[in-house]
């Protein structure tokens, strides 16, 4: 079985806008809405997939989170994450609703696109609530495919100095600062990395794994498979094929493909979905 820790799911009109943005940048995507995504995932042996969405502007976080709640019911293969927008006056209420929902499994923050500082004081309520509920957070805080003033290891370090017990996944293995994020696994036992877009074959940017193999092997149980489907220019199978390219023994592959993410999400070992 496979648990994909990083796919994207938006309502149809929002998905279309996201795809137009990518394609305008020369970044091709697979234009699949959620039912087609579920079928593609199931056809590749994926049992569950964390479905990520996030508001690009104020005023839409709650409706987007409700879309995720409905998605979990309609397509049980998905484990949706919710999100917030820092400029929403009802940020605290929205965060509480996400954590209380039986159909949302974490928070997704995308400061590269949402253009906010992860150490914005308005987010402290969310981080504290995550700690109290042991609620996971997945964050794109690395500088790939490009950097801004809102991403980078320096921002992550400030956050973790204040909240070292956050249960947090750093997307894309923190590229382009992968080695630095790999070092942080030594400090923060509830931190994991996902492999999204690393070791895949694409001309968009340099996705090759680079880092200390011994440290990667030591932390092999803290690395989780992610595909970024459907917002990628390669077939789904190429994402699956990225795992054997890491300098890890074959015995580590089941952990990367499923077990590590299941522990991060604290899913029961017998949790299964009715695959579409």
What is the CATH number for 38?
A: 3.20.20.140
Asked if residue 276 is part of any domain, the answer here is no
Residue-level pLDDT at 202 = 86
pTM above 0.75, yes or no: yes
Count up the domains in the chain and report the number.
1
Asked if residue 245 is part of any domain, the answer here is yes
Low-confidence ranges of the chain (pLDDT < 50): 271-276
Residue-level pLDDT at 206 = 87
Tokens of 57: 């502007």
Asked if residue 126 is part of any domain, the answer here is yes
Sequence-ordered list of residues with C-beta below 8 angstroms from that of 16, at least 6 positions apart, any chain: none
Asked if residue 40 is part of any domain, the answer here is yes
Residue-level pLDDT at 192 = 98
Asked if residue 230 is part of any domain, the answer here is yes
Residue-level pLDDT at 270 = 55
Strand intervals (E) in 24-177: 46-52, 78-80, 107-109, 137-139, 168-170
Asked if residue 270 is part of any domain, the answer here is no
Residue-level pLDDT at 210 = 85
Asked if residue 275 is part of any domain, the answer here is no
Asked if residue 273 is part of any domain, the answer here is no
Range of the domain at 178: 2-265
């Amino acid at each position: 079985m496979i648990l994909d820790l990083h796919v994207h799911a938006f309502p149809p009109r929002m998905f279309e806008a996201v795809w137009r943005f990518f394609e305008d940048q020369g970044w091709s995507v697979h234009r699949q809405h959620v039912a087609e995504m579920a079928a593609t995932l199931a056809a590749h042996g994926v049992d569950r997939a964390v479905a990520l969405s996030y508001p690009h502007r104020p005023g839409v976080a709650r409706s987007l989170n409700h879309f995720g709640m409905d998605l979990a019911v309609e397509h049980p293969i998905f484990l949706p994450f919710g999100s917030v927008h820092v400029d929403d006056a009802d940020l605290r209420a929205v965060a509480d609703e996400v954590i209380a929902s039986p159909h949302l499994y974490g928070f997704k923050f995308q400061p590269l696109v949402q253009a906010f500082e992860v150490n914005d004081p308005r987010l402290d309520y969310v981080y504290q609530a995550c700690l109290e509920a042991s609620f996971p957070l997945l964050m794109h805080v690395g500088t790939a495919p490009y950097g801004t003033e809102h991403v980078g290891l320096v921002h992550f370090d400030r956050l973790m100095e204040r909240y070292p017990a956050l249960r947090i996944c750093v997307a894309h293995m923190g590229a382009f600062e992968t080695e630095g994020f790999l070092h942080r696994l030594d400090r923060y036992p509830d931190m994991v990395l996902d492999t999204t877009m690393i070791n895949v074959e694409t001309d968009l940017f340099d996705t090759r794994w680079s880092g200390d193999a011994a440290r990667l092997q030591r932390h092999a149980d803290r690395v989780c498979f992610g595909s970024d489907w459907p917002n990628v220019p390669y077939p789904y199978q190429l994402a699956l094929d990225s795992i054997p390219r890491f300098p890890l023994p074959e015995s580590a592959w089941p952990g990367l493909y499923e077990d590590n993410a299941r522990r991060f999400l604290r899913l029961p070992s017998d949790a299964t979905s009715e695959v579409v």
